[in-house]
């Protein structure tokens, strides 16, 4: 196998990035999805559309705006500088933030679908059985939405692994910090090291296939009829 140390470092970094991103996305995505599933607010559609934007935008657009907004003159950049964090471009933290934006709909939408499928009825039953809103959320909603959470986590993770455009725009190709597998593949192609490119790219194809296979077979054999994916 012609893979170098840098290649392995890139793969490892990719998994670190995807794991951390998925964890953050579940924490951030759950309240957003819950709100979207429940609200009658006139802001529901605009917020839903914003969350879904990364589905249709080229990653380079997200990357470009992140590059500008996280830069020293941008909104995020000004904020992080005033907090004494410097700017986040070319850092692992910056990639995590970019990935969170980029993969947000892949986590929010399955969760929102799961929450909507659950409906109000189980919550009302819980309320008449003396469970407060938080109690009901943890003892009724979370268990019922479990298939949705599994789908959301898998999709969020896999989509982050497959991220390229955003990393390219804000990463700076720094080994061990921002040089992830997809960028490494690009480097190999550009430098005509096709054998290494094949090993990495083939690995990505295999990984993605296994993830989707797990997702599809898990869904068809799942005991819950909960609709978790459109």
CB of 177 to another protein, least distance (A): 10
**What gap in Å lies between CA 219 and CA 226, rounded to an integer?**
9
**What gap in Å lies between CA 230 and CA 228, rounded to an integer?**
7
CB of 34 to another protein, least distance (A): 18
Binding mask 71-110 for another protein (x = CB under 8 A): xxxx--x--------xx-xx--------------------
Closer of 33 and 67 to another protein (Cβ): 67
Closer of 194 and 216 to another protein (Cβ): 194
Q: Interaction with another protein in 6-45: which residues (CB under 8 A)?
A: none
Q: Tell me the window of 16-24, 148-156, 163-171, 208-216 that interacts with another protein (CB under 8 A).
A: 163-171
Contact yes or no for 179/9 (Cβ under 8 A):
yes
Q: Tell me if 127 contacts another protein by CB under 8 A.
A: yes
Number of residues this chain uses to bind another protein (CB under 8 A): 45
**What gap in Å lies between CA 118 and CA 112, rounded to an integer?**
10
Name 113's Cβ contacts closer than 8 Å, sequence gap at least 6.
148, 227, 228, 229, 230
**What gap in Å lies between CA 154 and CA 148, rounded to an integer?**
10
State the Rg of the chain over Cα: 20
Q: Tell me if 122 contacts another protein by CB under 8 A.
A: yes
Burial 92-117 (b: 16+ CB within 10 A, else e): bebbbbbbbbbbbbbbbbbbbbbbeb
Q: Tell me if 128 contacts another protein by CB under 8 A.
A: yes
Judged by the rule CB under 8 A, the positions of this chain that interact with another protein are 64, 67-68, 70-74, 77, 86-87, 89-90, 121-122, 124-133, 135-136, 139-140, 143-144, 168-170, 172-174, 183, 186-187, 189-192, 224
């Amino acid at each position: 196998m012609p893979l170098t140390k840098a290649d392995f470092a890139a793969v490892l970094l990719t998994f670190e990035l995807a794991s951390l991103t998925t964890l953050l996305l579940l924490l951030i995505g759950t309240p957003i999805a819950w709100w979207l599933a429940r609200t009658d607010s006139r802001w529901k559609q605009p917020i839903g559309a914003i969350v879904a934007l990364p589905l249709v935008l080229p990653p380079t657009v997200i990357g470009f705006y992140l590059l500008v907004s996280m830069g020293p003159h941008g909104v995020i950049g000004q904020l992080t500088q005033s907090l004494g964090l410097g700017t986040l471009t070319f850092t692992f933290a910056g990639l995590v933030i970019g990935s969170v934006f980029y993969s947000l709909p892949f986590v929010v939408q399955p969760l929102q679908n799961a929450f909507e499928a659950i409906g109000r009825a189980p919550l009302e039953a819980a309320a008449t059985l003396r469970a407060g809103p938080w109690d009901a959320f943890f003892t009724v909603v979370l268990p019922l939405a479990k298939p949705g959470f599994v789908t959301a986590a898998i999709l969020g993770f896999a989509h982050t692994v497959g991220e390229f455009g955003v990393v390219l725009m804000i990463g700076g190709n720094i080994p061990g910090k921002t040089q992830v597998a997809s960028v490494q593949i690009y480097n190999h192609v550009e430098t005509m090291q096709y054998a290494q490119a094949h090993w990495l790219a083939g690995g990505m194809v295999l990984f993605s296939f296994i993830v989707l296979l797990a997702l599809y077979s898990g869904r068809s054999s799942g005991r819950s009829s909960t609709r978790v994916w459109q």
